[in-house]
């Protein structure tokens, strides 16, 4: 029925085709008033030209049925809103009725020519034919998209005129009749062409609606997939947080037990060496947890860059303190150059990137050294980490920033090379992307590699006051100090108790808020008052360390407090400010715990 476009898409679904039919019928309804007005005006014009010359019976025989027909069409027009509510079948019946009345009205124009033609002069006859032809052309837009309906209408309108002119019998009449037939053929061709154009337009509209429906469906599916991905990301984050919390507990206890063992065996070099090995293993596991959690934070949008101007010297100084002992132990040279520069970026993220790069460089370098440089180039700052290590083959450079991928190299990796999960460079790449800082690598297998991070050049900050002189190690004694520990993990509680008693403190331990509160209520605050509280964050019965702090301070008054937690995914800064406590994340290095206790108790 309709013309096909050069590129045919899949057939639109039934609802779309039904929508097209409804649009067609709605178009007929909307154009009916204009059609009725045009017919009425045309009839009045013809009546004005022929009423004097034409017998009254002829005029009445034409006008009365014609206006009766117009009334029927008007009533049909008024019925449309009720019919539209009954569905597509009722609309199709309405269209058939509309088409029938329209074709009959065209036939009345043809009959009118039979009744009026012979009574007019040449001017009136010409006006009659032109009026009917104009009415026929006007129906193209209204009926041509229905094909056969328009052809029947045009035949009912024009062919009676040709027959009436031919019936006159003159030579000029024959020529005029032939011309009218030719005009009918032209009108039929115009109607067919209009129908093709109309069908193409409607086809495009239908395709557009079909594509829009597909787009809406795909958008809904994409939104659902995004929502599921967000749920999966949150689940992954929660899993890592829970796993980290649970795995840090025994590590925390292990470190505390190791330090307690050192305290009891200060003169035994072999025991000290074992303690050092234990602490190294704890530090390694802590590093693995940190890498996993860093990846999780970055993936879930938990890291927000905070760009500012900072001194490269400060970061290089901290890197030197951290890595010089490790490099020295392996017989490597660790050198820093270009410390005078200033960069504009997030100093914490930049330092984390450099720490991972320097750590990797030391791990994969057996001879020579590592050079960390900073220089300007093209109006930007280039931070580079050079090494003389095993290098990276060209085929592996595209994968070194993937999670859990470790360079294999040309020879088997030694134990310290395999240490880790292969997340260091993945974290480096994601942090660089987060800051929109270009990161690149060049490498020659067997000779070494250089990683380059490009940052904007910063400005020197305002000069601050002189820094306080660093203090030496704290010699901590807790004699005559009462420390209350609220910790539900038996191993951690026991390790803390052993360590604190080794430092001279008296320790009271509880595994729940309920037990701690019961003990507090049984004490006389004038005779017994804790000097320090050390509480875990997650406690049994749905309680938290904050509940323990509130319960104990409610009886004893303000008591210095240290909160220890194995979770690094939830920020407690607001809780710490509101309840006046300091936070340590498990596993807690004994030296850090000792320094925090000294700070909270005011030991100098």
What pLDDT digit, counting tens, does each position of 427-440 carry? 788 888 888 899 99
Is 229 among the domain residues? no
CATH number at residue 279: 3.40.50.2300
- Angle at Cα 581 formed by Cα 578 and Cα 586, nearest 5°? 125
Q: Which residues pair with 442 in a beta bridge?
A: 450
Residues 144 and 274 in one domain: no
Is 177 among the domain residues? no
- Locate all alpha helices (DSSP H) within 52-121, ordered by sequence: 56-84, 88-116
Residues 46 and 135 in one domain: yes
Residues 250 and 310 in one domain: no
Q: Show which of 425, 456, 487 is a domain's final residue.
A: 456
Residues 386 and 402 in one domain: yes
Residues 327 and 286 in one domain: no
Residues 528 and 430 in one domain: no
Q: Which residue has the tokens 């193409």?
A: 200
Owning domain of residue 287: 240-302+476-604
Q: Which residue has the tokens 């009436």?
A: 164
Classified as helix, coil or strand, 300 is: coil
Is 204 among the domain residues? no
What pLDDT digit, counting tens, does each position of 246-282 carry? 666 666 666 667 666 666 666 666 666 676 666 666 6
Residues 308 and 280 in one domain: no
DSSP for 167-228, written as a single string: HH--HHHHHHHHHHHHHHHHHHHHHHHHHHHHHHHHHHHHHHHHHHHHHHHHHHHHHHHHHH
Beta strands at 439-444 and 448-456: parallel, antiparallel or unpaired: antiparallel
> What pLDDT sits at residue 266?
61
Is 186 among the domain residues? no
> What pLDDT sits at residue 476?
61
Residues 331 and 407 in one domain: yes
Q: Show which of 114, 146, 168 is a domain's final residue.
A: 168
What is the percent of the chain where pLDDT is above 70?
Answer: 74
At residue 230, does pLDDT exceed 80? Answer: no
Q: Show which of 126, 146, 168 is a domain's final residue.
A: 168
Could you tell me which residue, 149 or 449, shows the higher pLDDT? Answer: 449
d(CA 445, CA 392) in angstroms, rounded, equals 5
What pLDDT digit, counting tens, does each position of 478-534 carry? 888 899 999 888 878 888 888 888 888 899 999 999 999 999 999 888 888 899 999
CATH number at residue 383: 3.30.565.10
Q: How many domains does the chain have?
A: 3
Residues 122 and 48 in one domain: yes
At residue 295, does pLDDT exceed 70? Answer: no
Is 351 among the domain residues? yes
State the chain's mean pLDDT as an integer: 77
Distances in Å between the Cα of 324 and the Cα atoms of 316, 335, 408 are: 11, 9, 26
DSSP 466: P
What pLDDT digit, counting tens, does each position of 563-574 carry? 887 665 555 777
Residues 321 and 251 in one domain: no
DSSP for 148-172, written as a single string: HHHHHHHHHHHHHHHHHHHHH--HH
Is 373 among the domain residues? yes
Tokens of 170: 């003159």
Residue 600: closest CA among 445, 446, 478, 421: 478
Residues 419 and 510 in one domain: no
Is 3 among the domain residues? no
Q: What is the pTM of this model?
A: 0.41
> What pLDDT sits at residue 473?
43
> What pLDDT sits at residue 12?
47
Is 518 among the domain residues? yes
Residues 481 and 599 in one domain: yes
């Amino acid at each position: 029925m309709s013309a096909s476009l050069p590129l045919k898409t899949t057939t639109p679904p039934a609802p779309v085709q039904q929508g097209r039919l409804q649009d067609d019928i709605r178009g007929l309804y909307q154009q009916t008033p204009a059609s009725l007005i045009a017919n009425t005006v045309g009839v009045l014009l013809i009546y004005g030209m022929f009423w004097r010359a034409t017998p009254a019976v002829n005029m009445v025989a034409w006008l009365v049925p014609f206006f009766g027909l117009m009334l029927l069409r008007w009533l049909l027009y008024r019925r449309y809103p009720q019919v539209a509510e009954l569905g597509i079948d009722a609309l199709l019946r309405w269209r058939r009725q509309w088409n029938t009345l329209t074709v009959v009205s065209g036939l009345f124009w043809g009959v009118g020519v039979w009744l009026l033609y012979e009574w007019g002069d040449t001017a009136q006859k010409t006006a009659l034919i032109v009026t009917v032809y104009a009415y026929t052309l006007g129906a193209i837009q209204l009926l041509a998209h229905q094909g056969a309906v328009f052809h029947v209408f045009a035949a009912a309108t024009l062919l009676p005129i040709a027959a009436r002119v031919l019936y006159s019998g003159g030579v000029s009449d024959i020529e005029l009749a032939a011309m009218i037939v030719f005009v009918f053929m032209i009108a039929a061709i115009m109607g067919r062409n209009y129908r093709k154009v109309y069908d193409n337009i409607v086809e495009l509209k239908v395709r557009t609606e079909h594509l829009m429906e597909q787009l809406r469906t795909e958008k809904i599916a994409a939104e659902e997939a995004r929502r599921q991905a967000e749920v999966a990301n949150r689940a992954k984050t929660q899993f890592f947080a829970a796993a980290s919390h649970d795995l840090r507990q025994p590590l925390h206890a292990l470190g505390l037990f190791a330090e307690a063992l050192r305290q009891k065996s200060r003169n035994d070099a072999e025991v000290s060496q074992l303690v050092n090995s234990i602490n190294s293993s704890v530090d390694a596991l802590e590093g693995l947890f940190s890498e996993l959690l860093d990846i999780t934070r970055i993936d879930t949008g938990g890291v927000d860059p905070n760009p500012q101007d900072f001194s490269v010297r400060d970061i290089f100084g901290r890197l030197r303190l951290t890595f010089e002992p490790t490099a020295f132990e392996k017989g490597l040279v660790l050198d820093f150059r270009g410390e005078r520069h200033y960069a504009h970026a997030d100093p914490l993220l930049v330092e984390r990137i450099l720490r991972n790069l320097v750590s990797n460089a030391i791990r994969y370098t057996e001879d020579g050294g590592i050079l960390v440089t900073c220089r300007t180039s093209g109006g930007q700052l280039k931070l580079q980490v050079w090494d003389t290590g095993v290098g990276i083959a060209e085929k592996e450079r595209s994968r070194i920033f993937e999670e859990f991928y470790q360079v294999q190299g040309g020879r088997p990796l030694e134990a310290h090379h395999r240490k880790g999960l292969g997340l260091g460079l993945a974290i480096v790449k994601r942090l660089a992307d987060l800051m929109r800082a270009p990161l690149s690598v060049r490498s020659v297998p067997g000779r070494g590699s250089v990683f380059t991070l490009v940052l904007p050049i910063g400005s020197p900050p305002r000069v601050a006051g002189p820094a306080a002189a660093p203090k030496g190690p704290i010699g901590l004694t807790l004699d005559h100090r009462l420390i209350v520990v609220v910790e539900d993990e038996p191993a951690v509680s026991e390790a803390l108790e052993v360590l604190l008693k080794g430092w001279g403190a008296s320790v009271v331990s509880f595994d729940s808020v309920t037990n701690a509160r019961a003990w507090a209520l049984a004490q006389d605050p004038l005779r017994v008052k804790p000097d320090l509280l050390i509480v875990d964050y997650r406690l049994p019965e749905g309680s938290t360390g904050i509940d323990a702090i509130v319960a104990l301070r409610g009886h004893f008054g303000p008591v210095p407090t240290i909160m220890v937690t194995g979770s690094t995914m939830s920020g407690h800064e607001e809780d710490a400010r509101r309840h006046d406590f300091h936070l340590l994340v498990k596993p807690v290095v004994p030296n850090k715990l000792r320094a925090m206790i000294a700070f909270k108790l005011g030991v100098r």
